[in-house]
Amino acid sequence: MNTEEKEEKKKSLKLNCGFACLIRDREGIFDRYESISMNCGYMIASSEISAKLAAKGSSINCGNSQVQDVRGEIVFLNGNTVIDGSGDFKDKFIIVQGNLIIKGDGVKSLGNTEGVITTGTVYYPLSAAGSLTKIKGNTKGYPDNAWPVLGDYSAEALMALIPKGEKNVWVSGEIRALEGEPLAQAEKAGLVITCSSLFTYRSLYDTYSGLFSAESKTLVPDGYEITGDLNLGPGEAALYGPKIYVNGCLTVEDKSLAALESLESIIVSGEASLGVKAAAIFRKTGKAASYSVFEGHPYTINGMEHISREQLAGMAEKGEKIALTVNGCVIFASDVTSQDMEAVASLSYNGIVMIPKAAKGALSSKIRAANGLMGDPEELKSLTGLSIENLIKQHTGGINEKNENDGSTQINTGMYILI
């Protein structure tokens, strides 16, 4: 083996993708690397590729994986494709990225395929339950006499979508019905709507409950303005009025006490994150599915950020504190001290926290949640065996790149296909 070939064998591949289809490595791409690591949401691999990856001791992290050998032609279909029997899939292998709807003769059409794999869910007429042997993936049946619709819809949007003459509608997701007019239209048309969940006002449900068959229901009390995730301030309180229903999560800092006090009532379907003083007021007028209390100003880093001693000292002088959340990497300047950590009320991190030894102990006492690495840069380098540059890249991602120092290749892509 010459020098060039030796260098070739030392290369490593890191593949980050949402979907990987690895059936045939015709060009011997994986043979060029000594080590391979993969992070993907869904992976389909042939037994040949799987054996090759195992032989290299590859590190594979997948939300879902399938080992599947394919003989014939592979056909890729987009999510929410409808199979109704009009297409010819005989002896073909179907891979669907997302959901698949089967209607009418579509059951027979898929029965002629080599196989079907979907990364989502296959929706099928209930009478066809015994004819799905070639399908790998999640399946869910809908009534044979229903017109199936995938996704979440407002009542207005759904009414505009339903073909004339359809009486039974099946919706895979949520129906949001906040106005009476489209419900009156549906009732007049004699519709019956089956859905996964229903979100509506209580009085509307009392009037039009006969329209719906829902697996779950959220009934909002009348008189409440509805919003999604909300960071409450004076402007929001004026916009939504005295009664607010938060369909999501709520954040209230202590500086927004006046806005919170102006409310008659607030209901939160998710988590209420409250400043220490705000928590006491919230108990009088609000309720939530869950709670968390923080000190200071919420500050979130998504990606990478450097925090200097001057920044921390400036906050400390003003008596300000931050509740720090890190998704990625935060680098504290090399001259920060334990006294500077007085500006940090709490720390939650998912990634890397680089901080000098002199300040690490003071910051460690403020950790509320930790997932990743925390320490002095040289300590982290010794612990992981990676340079600081590569350690940051590993936790924050980046563009497709080739590291000229170690010969490694990193690929970040939505789809990676070898067929």
Q: What pLDDT digit, counting tens, does each position of 10-20 carry?
A: 688 999 999 99
At 395 the pLDDT is 57
At 113 the pLDDT is 93
Confidence of residue 162 (pLDDT cuts 50, 70, 90): very high
Question: Out of 101-110, 126-135, 138-147, 406-415, which region has the weakest mean confidence (pLDDT)?
Answer: 406-415
Cα Rg, the chain, nearest whole Å? 28
The residue among 39 and 389 whose pLDDT is bigger is: 39
The residue among 403 and 187 whose pLDDT is bigger is: 187
> Nearest Cα to 136, choosing from 22, 61, 42, 51?
42
**Beta strands 135-142 and 115-125, pairing class:** parallel
Residues 71-96, mean pLDDT to the nearest whole number: 91
Residues 217-231, mean pLDDT to the nearest whole number: 96
Percent of the chain with pLDDT strictly greater than 90: 65
Residues 198-220, mean pLDDT to the nearest whole number: 97
Find the helix packing angle between 388-396 and 377-384, rounded to 10°: 80
At 9 the pLDDT is 47
| Whether pLDDT at 222 is above 90 | yes
Confidence of residue 235 (pLDDT cuts 50, 70, 90): confident
CA distances from 418 to 25, 39, 53, 70 (A): 6, 16, 14, 12
At 346 the pLDDT is 92
| Whether pLDDT at 5 is above 60 | no
Q: What is the DSSP string of 174-238?
A: EEEE--HHHHHHHHHTT-EEEEEEEEEEHHHHHHHGGGEEEEEEEEEPTT-EEESSEE--HHHHH
Confidence of residue 409 (pLDDT cuts 50, 70, 90): confident
* CA 323/CA 126 separation, integer angstroms: 51
Confidence of residue 408 (pLDDT cuts 50, 70, 90): confident
Strands (E), 264-407: 265-275, 286-294, 297-307, 322-332, 344-354, 367-375, 401-403
| Whether pLDDT at 399 is above 80 | no
3-class state of residue 389 by DSSP: helix
**C-beta atoms surrounding 70 within 10 Å:** 18
* CA 378/CA 124 separation, integer angstroms: 57
Residues 79-105, mean pLDDT to the nearest whole number: 91
Residues 343-363, mean pLDDT to the nearest whole number: 92
Confidence of residue 382 (pLDDT cuts 50, 70, 90): confident
Mean pLDDT for the chain overall: 89
Confidence of residue 353 (pLDDT cuts 50, 70, 90): very high
Percent of the chain with pLDDT strictly greater than 70: 92
Confidence of residue 279 (pLDDT cuts 50, 70, 90): very high
The angle subtended at Cα 134 by Cα 132 and Cα 138, nearest 5°, is 60
Residue 160 dihedral angles phi and psi, to the nearest 5°: -70, -20
At 318 the pLDDT is 86
End-to-end CA distance of the chain: 29
pTM, whole model, 2 decimals? 0.75
At 243 the pLDDT is 96
At 179 the pLDDT is 96
Confidence of residue 372 (pLDDT cuts 50, 70, 90): confident
The angle subtended at Cα 370 by Cα 369 and Cα 372, nearest 5°, is 160
Contact status, residue 333 vs residue 312, Cβ threshold 8 Å? no
| Whether pLDDT at 4 is above 90 | no
Contact status, residue 142 vs residue 126, Cβ threshold 8 Å? yes
352: its two tokens: 């890397």
Confidence of residue 311 (pLDDT cuts 50, 70, 90): very high
Label residue 28 left, alpha or beta by phi (over 0 means left) and psi (-120 to 50 means alpha).
left
At 49 the pLDDT is 94
**C-beta atoms surrounding 290 within 10 Å:** 10
Residues 375-390, mean pLDDT to the nearest whole number: 75
* CA 36/CA 13 separation, integer angstroms: 5
Residue at token pair 């419900």:
183
Domain ranges in the chain are 3-67, 74-142, 147-220, 225-294, 298-385
**C-beta atoms surrounding 382 within 10 Å:** 10
Residue 46 is which amino acid?
S
| Whether pLDDT at 393 is above 70 | no
